[in-house]
Structure 1
Amino acid sequence: MSAAASARTILTSLHEIMASRTHAQAKLNQVVETIGESLDSEVCSIYLLRDGMLELFATRGLNQAAVHVTRLAVGEGLTGTIAQNIETLNLDEAATHPEFQYRPETGEEKFHSFAGVPIVRRERAIGVVNVQHIEPRKYEEVEIEALQTVAMVLAELINNAGLVDDVDLEAGTQKLTGQETAEGLKLVKGLALGEAVFHQPRVQIEQTVAEDTEAERQRVYLAFDRMREQIDNMTGQAEFGVGGEQEQVLETYKMFAYDEGWSRRINEAIDSGLTAEAAIERVQQRTRMRMREISDPLLQDRMHDLEDLANRLIRIVSGQLGTAAQKGLSKDTILVAKNLGPAELLEYDKRRLKGVVLEEGSLTAHVVIVARAMGVPVVGRIRNLRGLVREGDTVLVDGDKGAVTLRPGQGVLSAFETRFARKREKQAAYAKLRDVEPFTRDGERIEVMMNAGLRDDMSMLAVTGADGIGLYRTEFQFLVSAALPQRERQARLYRDVLDAAKGKKVVFRTVDIGGDKQLPYISSENAKEDENPAMGWRALRLALEREGLMKVQARALLEGSAGRELNVMFPMVSEPWEFDAAKEVFDSQLAYLKKRKHQLPSCINYGVMLEVPSLAEQLDLLLPRLKFISIGTNDLTQFLFAADRANPMLAERYDWLSPSILRFLARVVQTCVGQPVDLGVCGEMGGRRLEALALIGLGIRRLSITPAAVGQIKELVRKVDTKEIGDAMRGWLASPPPDMRAALTEWAEAREIEVD
């Protein structure tokens, strides 16, 4: 018998039980008998969450005296593990599981096989339904799927009967009054103030068992048509630019919307006897369970896109279309959501949407890429978010610190407003420097360039007055694409970027994937077992292994730069031979294009990112082959200190102004003195005023930083005397003070140089 047929048989009986006039306990007693008989299982038990404990409410096969007596904590025993992890267990020998716990009052010692599924409501386990068998055997997949479908219907029965306290269904029990601050993950920087608006109210499924299967199927077909039409319309929004990264994000999103496997699974759930809404929710629950088993953050983000689509589909089919975007925003808004799909973010009025707070979220998520392009601050990973905030609460979002303040008091509001006003004033002052060249007091010209990775970032070049793009992260195009971007598409992007630069210098870094930037369509046997991905098979190492990947990008860069200067930078070069191997790929593609009479770049300059300390030991050997070097301070710091910057315990432990870092940089600068090589720093270090002051003192004359920092660094440069700070830095490095940061701050303040 198929899973759908098994579930349909049980659901038909459950429908009759639910329609009867007996009390809730009698209904549960009938339910366990029905499930046990249908699955030919000696035992069927239902545990429900009451007062924070899982209580045995009904059983067939175990001692009846244990009902309402046996209680397990969430996480205790097999049943508690299922509830805690919201996962399914299927064991041929229950006692072999590490979490197995024997309860003598149940009389279950003679049963060997065990299967259990969580009873889920509002994405939380409110109970568990278990089956057991004397013979050691795993339950068939069709039986497990039937059990999962039944658990979904049970959730409605249990809720309607009031068997589980409402407090257990909500995100938390705190009284939502008074000021509260929550720390999260910095996803998109910036400050924002507004009223909390929930992205979407939870769609409550009123009926789970279908009366007419074909009618439910037609409802789903119509909903799919409407959803796909919405996605197609979004893809064509002109304001986000043809060929932009947002369009590529939506193309990936569209791929999921047209996925036949997804629609087939929903149809199978309808075949089992569920309504259209319940069938979508049933498949969505299975998706969530799979997500918990996926460790790859990029694949988790793609699953979030599917979750977003499922939410959209269930709202369409139920007629409950009231998302905050569709209702419209009337005030300055901070959007609150568990997670958010990129398409849904694009639906909001950007004039009113000031910030986003997510319960989940990650740096590689599609929604973060879109939010950054929109200039909307985002903080993620706020645990228990829906339990902390109410609709209409005042919310302060500090994307710079990754903090959210809920219902702030007047003092905090005033301080925030002061900080916000000061930031606006500074931005206005920095904007006046847009067309001013950054010369120091003693006449040294410092190049202040900006980093970019999205086509839309290029508009900031004119806004900030940066000298050019010191780092264009070409991997962003790969990260937002559903499949490997074709050569023509890559070339078009590079051509558009150079057009937008209007003659200013652009440095293209070849694709830096791997590590925390995994692509589902590119896998490497060498990367699978990486215990420390940041130091593993990534960047140039991966590109040289995947020679086809680098060949395509090399030709795309050469074609996209036809008739203009091309600056190519290779990431994570550890030894000179790696640079030579990468350049050879470009040389071969250049010869190919030349042979076929293609227009070539007017000149090609090659450079490296100095991120791996080993390269510094052989830099003198490589210098004759280089036009420029960019010191990548983000990776360099973690490699020098053996401290993974993704580890929150280490993120703030090591200071960029440590003598270790500064002495290393000074040695690199000294190696390049007298050589025809342009040396600069690329990374967050150069965008901080005090750190930038130190870098200038070391002899660095080119900084490539985030666009938001360009104005303030240009302003800083105009207050600095390079000889004076250079002398001070040499003294400090020869005999380091106890606190380099304090010494440098004191030096700056004595000269009225603001370094905050």
Structure 2
Amino acid sequence: MIAASGAREILRRLHDVMASKAGAQAKLNQVVAVVAEQLTSEVASIYLLRDGVLELYATKGLAQDAVHVTKLALGQGLVGTIAASREPLNLAEAREHPDFAYRPETGEDIFHSFAGVPIVRREASVGVLCVQHREPRDYDDVEIEALQTVAMVLSELIAGAGLVDDAQVARARAQATGSVRLGGLKLVDGLARGVAVLHQPRVVVEHTVAEDVEVERARVYNAFIRMREQIDKMMGQAEFSAAGDHDEILETYKMFAYDEGWSRRINEAIDSGLTAEAAIQRVQQRTSARMRSIDDPYLRERLTDLDDLSNRLLRIVSGQLGTAAQLGLRTETILLARNLGPAELLEYDKRYLKGVVLEEGSLTAHVTIVARAMGIPVLGRVRDLRTTIADGDELLLDGGAGALFVRPSAQMLRSFEATSALKAKRQAEYAALRELPAETLDGTRMTLLMNAGLRDDAAALEQTNADGIGLFRTEFQFLVAATLPRRERQTALYRSILETAGDRPVTFRTVDIGGDKSVPYMREETEAEENPAMGWRAIRLALGRDGLMKVQARALLDAAAGRTLNIMFPMISEPWEFDAAKALVEEQRKWLERSGRPQPAKIRYGAMLEVPALAECLDVLFPKIDFLSIGTNDLTQFLFAADRANPMLADRYDWLSPAILRFLRRVVRAGDAAGIPITVCGEMGGRPLEALALAAIGVERLSVTPAAIGPLKAMFRSAKLAPLRAAMTEWLDAPGVDVRERLGGAVHAQGIICG
């Protein structure tokens, strides 16, 4: 048996081996000699995964002629079983194990007991370290832990020697764990293929053996202090002060962060001679092994929280605090995260970011809206994300089917390619409708505008032949900037959008930041709110910071010189807010006039109806405005008192609920009576069945994502609207009608294209 202090001696000797100038094979030969001596073992052997099989690379005690000759497949024999399961084996009588496979060339028939541990790199087995004895015996826990510690050092050694690379690691993981299909909530439709990248990357431990144990202990101590400060700060934030589902998560985080048992185990690992990073990972691996053996989903979730905290502690102690965006993407990527803010998503390079998978997420969260604008498919509410997928795994994302395929099989790849071909065929069918109007079979002409927010989005006008841009979200420029964008930069963006649009109208929404669209240069004003969604954001923030609003107004006026400027103000609650915003723009227009500067040929002012209170003041508002846009995302969350960022409520409230449809019908009828054009520009309008419902209550102008233009045009051109409007009136006036079911039946009866 090895004494506890012996672990440090093993690491000291391994450090000398790694520091020597010997070749990789010589170093492995020395490692097995050290292990055999320190564990008083008659056999110590190292198997490495090469070309998909486990090859005996070094041994002390078995026949030397077997080195590079004996090979086992993953799952074959005791060694293959360890590699496939990533679990240790501890056997007093090896031959009694059902997976035992005898290899006569090794001369192992005289040995009875066997213990082995996986050599793991990037969460994949790349080899096995094992020991054997003639006499039957159970190995002590401290001996198994010593083997696991040596295996960590071996992982560093074989990677540094080039005996295994990241491609081999990825193949090893795929071979060991196989293909998996994960389901989730479709947030943004689309297909994507790429490798898995964690938004908060796991730290790859490259140095395992400590030079100075006390220095490593101090590093961990300071990292614990910083991590606990972060958790305490998180719990003290105003948005977490009220009771809610987050309470249990944060309390668990705090419990683990202050758990003396966890910190003691890490310190014990440092005592054995490991670096701070290796000690944290060593304890994390033990925890992960426990997690895989637990059936209780509640306990598994708690251990996942500890895994998350371990990664946080690793990032702090290693100084690797950046996100994957800051580190930079280098290949086609599908991003994995618990959740994302819109500004975080916009930091990623669009050339490489092909899809996003979230553990949380909702249809109307701002990050979903931004991803839809970027044309990036998103899948939300995917369980077991971090425990099933590792960095570098190949992924196939089918947003439409709400499915993620991990390490796909050949059959999965063929199915994905067939789906891609079908999608391309549909896109070709939609493209064939490009020059045709969105007109129903009974003659109602629908106006299909598109939403935009990035300079590149305007190019979709030509591709889709949309009737214009019904919503240009100016805040995207503010979200991606480290400081407040200068007026000249804003002017250049707005002018380029107008020039690209040509004769088509463009409606600019003034900056809508705050809430979950916080920006670093104004964070102090928005972080201390108890309910940011209903707080200091949008027009409220813009009027409060009128310098920001004045700069944007000047930029819009300059950009639209000689053209018509359509400008609308977000989150208007009462008419006086519209008056104040318009007065601010008019003040800048008059300054241009006095200065003899060019100005727009015409300015049309509009408001966004997102706050239900405004619907009670339409008689006051309508004489002041030229148009009204309904933002169904915020409107829905305010009507139902349901936070759109809360995953528990993501699919609880239906856009085809009589509550929302009756509300919208009342607004549309009031607009018709006043001669005010009304556009729906929320996510509701981009979903075919919901868009049909909107048309059935009188909406004839929709502003949607570019990808939705083709499907909506195909749908409207196959529908007769008059009977649907009559039916919708009956459904909404009668109590207890399931509008979604009735409308779906009408679609089937008419043969409407509603894919």
For residues 372 and 724 of structure 2, the distance between their equivalents in structure 1, rounded to whole angstroms, comes to: 35
The equivalences for 1:149-164 within 5 A come to 160-161=149-150
Q: Summarize the Cα distance change of 1:516–1:433 in structure 2 as closer, same or farther, 3 Å threshold.
A: same
Tell me which residue corresponds to 1:329. none
Asked if 1:24 corresponds to 2:7, the answer is yes
Q: Summarize the Cα distance change of 1:682–1:420 in structure 2 as closer, same or farther, 3 Å threshold.
A: same
For residues 733 and 548 of structure 2, the distance between their equivalents in structure 1, rounded to whole angstroms, comes to: 46
For residues 660 and 381 of structure 2, the distance between their equivalents in structure 1, rounded to whole angstroms, comes to: 31
Asked if 1:405 corresponds to 2:405, the answer is yes
Tell me which residue corresponds to 1:640. 639
For residues 614 and 354 of structure 1, the distance between their equivalents in structure 2, rounded to whole angstroms, comes to: 40
Tell me which residue corresponds to 1:129. none
1:444 to partner: Cα distance: 2.1
Secondary structure, in 3 states, of the residue corresponding to 2:541?
Answer: helix
1:192 to partner: Cα distance: 2.4
For residues 280 and 499 of structure 1, the distance between their equivalents in structure 2, rounded to whole angstroms, comes to: 54
The equivalences for 1:160-559 within 5 A come to 160-161=149-150, 176-183=176-183, 189-193=189-193, 203-206=204-207, 306-308=322-324, 325=331, 335=334, 346=349, 355=355, 375-379=375-379, 385=385, 387-389=387-389, 395-400=395-400, 403-407=403-407, 416-417=416-417, 419-523=419-523, 525=525, 527-559=526-558
Secondary structure, in 3 states, of the residue corresponding to 1:577?
Answer: helix
Secondary structure, in 3 states, of the residue corresponding to 2:513?
Answer: coil
Question: Quick one: which amino acid aligns to residue 464 of structure 1?
Answer: T
For residues 515 and 748 of structure 1, the distance between their equivalents in structure 2, rounded to whole angstroms, comes to: 38
For residues 194 and 494 of structure 2, the distance between their equivalents in structure 1, rounded to whole angstroms, comes to: 38
Asked if 1:723 corresponds to 2:717, the answer is no
Cα offsets for 1:358-413 (capped at 9, x unmatched)? 78999999999998787453557867656424788663212356641225578766
For residues 192 and 657 of structure 1, the distance between their equivalents in structure 2, rounded to whole angstroms, comes to: 30
| Preserved CA contact (<8 Å) 1:450 1:469 | yes
For residues 676 and 528 of structure 1, the distance between their equivalents in structure 2, rounded to whole angstroms, comes to: 41
Secondary structure, in 3 states, of the residue corresponding to 1:531?
Answer: coil
| Preserved CA contact (<8 Å) 2:361 2:645 | no
Cα offsets for 1:318-348 (capped at 9, x unmatched)? xxxxx864xxxxxxx6556679998996496
Tell me which residue corresponds to 1:592. 591
1:722 to partner: Cα distance: 3.0
Secondary structure, in 3 states, of the residue corresponding to 1:674?
Answer: helix
For residues 479 and 364 of structure 1, the distance between their equivalents in structure 2, rounded to whole angstroms, comes to: 18
1:489 to partner: Cα distance: 0.8
Q: Which runs of 5+ in 2 are unaligned?
A: 13-119, 124-144, 156-168, 213-274, 280-305
| Preserved CA contact (<8 Å) 1:439 1:446 | yes
| Preserved CA contact (<8 Å) 2:656 2:740 | yes
Asked if 1:564 corresponds to 2:569, the answer is no
Q: Summarize the Cα distance change of 1:184–1:482 in structure 2 as closer, same or farther, 3 Å threshold.
A: farther
1:574 to partner: Cα distance: 0.6
For residues 695 and 417 of structure 2, the distance between their equivalents in structure 1, rounded to whole angstroms, comes to: 33
Secondary structure, in 3 states, of the residue corresponding to 2:449?
Answer: strand
1:206 to partner: Cα distance: 3.2
Tell me which residue corresponds to 1:79. none
Cα offsets for 1:533-567 (capped at 9, x unmatched)? 11111111111111111111111111111111100
Q: Summarize the Cα distance change of 1:644–1:457 in structure 2 as closer, same or farther, 3 Å threshold.
A: same
For residues 645 and 370 of structure 1, the distance between their equivalents in structure 2, rounded to whole angstroms, comes to: 14
For residues 389 and 538 of structure 1, the distance between their equivalents in structure 2, rounded to whole angstroms, comes to: 37
Asked if 1:613 corresponds to 2:612, the answer is yes
1:423 to partner: Cα distance: 2.4
Percentage identity across aligned positions?
Answer: 51
For residues 662 and 361 of structure 1, the distance between their equivalents in structure 2, rounded to whole angstroms, comes to: 25
Tell me which residue corresponds to 1:38. none
Tell me which residue corresponds to 1:602. 601
| Preserved CA contact (<8 Å) 2:360 2:647 | no
For residues 562 and 276 of structure 2, the distance between their equivalents in structure 1, rounded to whole angstroms, comes to: 57
1:748 to partner: Cα distance: 1.6
Cα offsets for 1:636-689 (capped at 9, x unmatched)? 111111111111111111111111111111111111123231111111111111
Q: Summarize the Cα distance change of 1:522–1:398 in structure 2 as closer, same or farther, 3 Å threshold.
A: same
Tell me which residue corresponds to 1:77. none
Q: Summarize the Cα distance change of 1:28–1:391 in structure 2 as closer, same or farther, 3 Å threshold.
A: closer
Question: For the aligned residues, what is the CA RMSD?
Answer: 4.8
Q: Summarize the Cα distance change of 1:724–1:585 in structure 2 as closer, same or farther, 3 Å threshold.
A: same
Asked if 1:753 corresponds to 2:736, the answer is no
Tell me which residue corresponds to 1:624. 623
1:725 to partner: Cα distance: 1.9
Secondary structure, in 3 states, of the residue corresponding to 2:673?
Answer: coil
1:355 to partner: Cα distance: 4.3
Q: Summarize the Cα distance change of 1:731–1:361 in structure 2 as closer, same or farther, 3 Å threshold.
A: closer
Q: Summarize the Cα distance change of 1:736–1:359 in structure 2 as closer, same or farther, 3 Å threshold.
A: closer
Secondary structure, in 3 states, of the residue corresponding to 1:449?
Answer: strand
Q: Summarize the Cα distance change of 1:569–1:163 in structure 2 as closer, same or farther, 3 Å threshold.
A: closer
Tell me which residue corresponds to 2:710. 711
Secondary structure, in 3 states, of the residue corresponding to 1:568?
Answer: strand
Q: Summarize the Cα distance change of 1:747–1:511 in structure 2 as closer, same or farther, 3 Å threshold.
A: same
| Preserved CA contact (<8 Å) 1:396 1:406 | yes
For residues 462 and 335 of structure 1, the distance between their equivalents in structure 2, rounded to whole angstroms, comes to: 28
For residues 367 and 669 of structure 1, the distance between their equivalents in structure 2, rounded to whole angstroms, comes to: 29
User: Bigger CA drift: 569-578 or 391-400?
Assistant: 391-400
| Preserved CA contact (<8 Å) 2:361 2:650 | no
Question: Quick one: which amino acid aligns to residue 510 of structure 1?
Answer: T
For residues 418 and 454 of structure 1, the distance between their equivalents in structure 2, rounded to whole angstroms, comes to: 32
Question: Quick one: which amino acid aligns to residue 443 of structure 2?
Answer: G
For residues 613 and 735 of structure 2, the distance between their equivalents in structure 1, rounded to whole angstroms, comes to: 24
Q: Summarize the Cα distance change of 1:652–1:507 in structure 2 as closer, same or farther, 3 Å threshold.
A: same
1:484 to partner: Cα distance: 0.3
Corresponding pairs, count: 512
For residues 161 and 505 of structure 1, the distance between their equivalents in structure 2, rounded to whole angstroms, comes to: 68
For residues 321 and 364 of structure 2, the distance between their equivalents in structure 1, rounded to whole angstroms, comes to: 12
For residues 694 and 487 of structure 2, the distance between their equivalents in structure 1, rounded to whole angstroms, comes to: 38
Secondary structure, in 3 states, of the residue corresponding to 1:649?
Answer: helix
User: Bigger CA drift: 607-616 or 303-312?
Assistant: 303-312
Question: Quick one: which amino acid aligns to residue 474 of structure 1?
Answer: T
| Preserved CA contact (<8 Å) 1:666 1:698 | yes
| Preserved CA contact (<8 Å) 1:737 1:743 | no
Question: Quick one: which amino acid aligns to residue 662 of structure 1?
Answer: L
| Preserved CA contact (<8 Å) 1:176 1:390 | no
Question: Quick one: which amino acid aligns to residue 517 of structure 1?
Answer: K
| Preserved CA contact (<8 Å) 2:513 2:538 | yes
Asked if 1:667 corresponds to 2:666, the answer is yes
| Preserved CA contact (<8 Å) 1:345 1:367 | no
Q: Which runs of 5+ in 1 are unaligned?
A: 1-20, 30-120, 125-155, 212-277, 283-288, 313-322, 326-332
| Preserved CA contact (<8 Å) 1:364 1:517 | no
Cα offsets for 1:582-638 (capped at 9, x unmatched)? 101001111111111110001000001111111111101110111111111111111
Q: Summarize the Cα distance change of 1:561–1:304 in structure 2 as closer, same or farther, 3 Å threshold.
A: farther
1:712 to partner: Cα distance: 0.9
